[in-house]
Amino acid sequence: MKHAKEIAIDQIKPNRYQPRKEFNQDALFELAQSIRENGLIQPIVVYPQAEGYEIIAGERRYRAMILAGYTCIPCHVMNAKEHEIAQLALIENIQREDLSPIEEADGYVQLIRLKGWTQEKLAQVVGKSQSSIANKIRLLQLAAGVQVAINRHEISERHARALLQVQHEHQEAILDEIIKRKLNVAQTERYISNLDQDKVKKSKPKTKGLARHIRIAKNTLRQAVSMIEKAGTKVKIEEKDYEDEVVYRISIKK
């Protein structure tokens, strides 16, 4: 990457694909103080637009520079296509450890929509398991108040997973009880398990017809693989059983 370029802060705007919704103000003030004392050690990364620049990476540093009273900021300017910019910005932010689970899930959904990826493909790109991504995305089914509480670190992700068992219209009332009573995860799970049944989501029963349909598909695939192996060709079959689907990967050596 080329040397950093000083750009006026009023010519720079945050990235529209930024999944982060909350910025810790205390941490920003600490970073601003550090920048006043030591300068900005790592320039931010931007790309040019018709008017000004948009941030790819470094929005916390950008905000801290504003708090510190700077009018210009060192930037690495990157030229890339629009979809590449979005992908870079989302992946850079998703891989930060300090994103909330909701912000991370938002980033995953944006990437899936932007790139047309499956959850499995996204998992390969960001280096996470498919089940981890699916579990994060499920958090977006929670009531708005619960999602805000997660972003504010009022409850943990495990508390939130427990709340997924509660009917949508009752989630915020249960959230208030969790916070008021300062329940830990185990206590929350017990509290939810003791709720009236009309407040808890019913688990979807697997119909006999559906289970039989899956068994037939599995047996057919295994028989096909067996026939190929008997013909002298080495075949590798991998099966992954997810909540909504069974995924097979069949590899045949050339």
Q: In terms of residues, how long is the chain?
A: 254
What residues form DSSP beta bridges with 166?
A: 200
Query: Element (H or E) spanning 123, and its range?
Result: helix 119-126
Where residue 65 sits, what CATH number does that domain have? Answer: 3.90.1530.30
**Residues that are catalytic:** 59
The answer to whether residue 241 is domain-embedded is: yes
Same domain for 12 and 92, yes or no, is yes
State whether 193 and 215 are in the same domain: no
| Res 183 pLDDT > 80 | yes
192 and 240 housed in the same domain: no
Q: Is the pLDDT of residue 254 over 60?
A: yes
Do 148 and 233 share a domain, yes or no? no
Q: Which two tokens stand for residue 12?
A: 């720079």
**Do residues 135 and 102 make contact, with C-beta atoms less than 8 angstroms apart?**
no
Of 46, 70, 98, the position where a domain reaches its end is 98
Residue 11 forms part of a structural domain: yes
How many Cα neighbours within 13 Å face the side chain of 48? 5
Inside any domain, residue 149: yes
Poorest-confidence range of 25-34, 75-84, 125-134, 155-164? 75-84
Strand-pairing partners, residue 250, are: 237
Helix (H) or strand (E) holding 115: helix 101-115
Q: Which comes out higher in pLDDT, residue 84 or 155?
A: 155
Question: For residue 24, what are the domain limits?
Answer: 5-98
pTM score over 0.85: no
Tally of domains in the chain: 3
Tell me: do 158 and 184 sit in the same domain: yes
212 and 150 within one domain: no
What DSSP element (H or E) covers 44?
Answer: strand 44-48
pLDDT in tens, 186-242: 999 999 988 876 677 654 544 445 556 676 777 777 777 777 776 778 777 776 665
Query: Among the three residues 42, 71, 98, which one is the final residue of a domain in this structure?
Result: 98
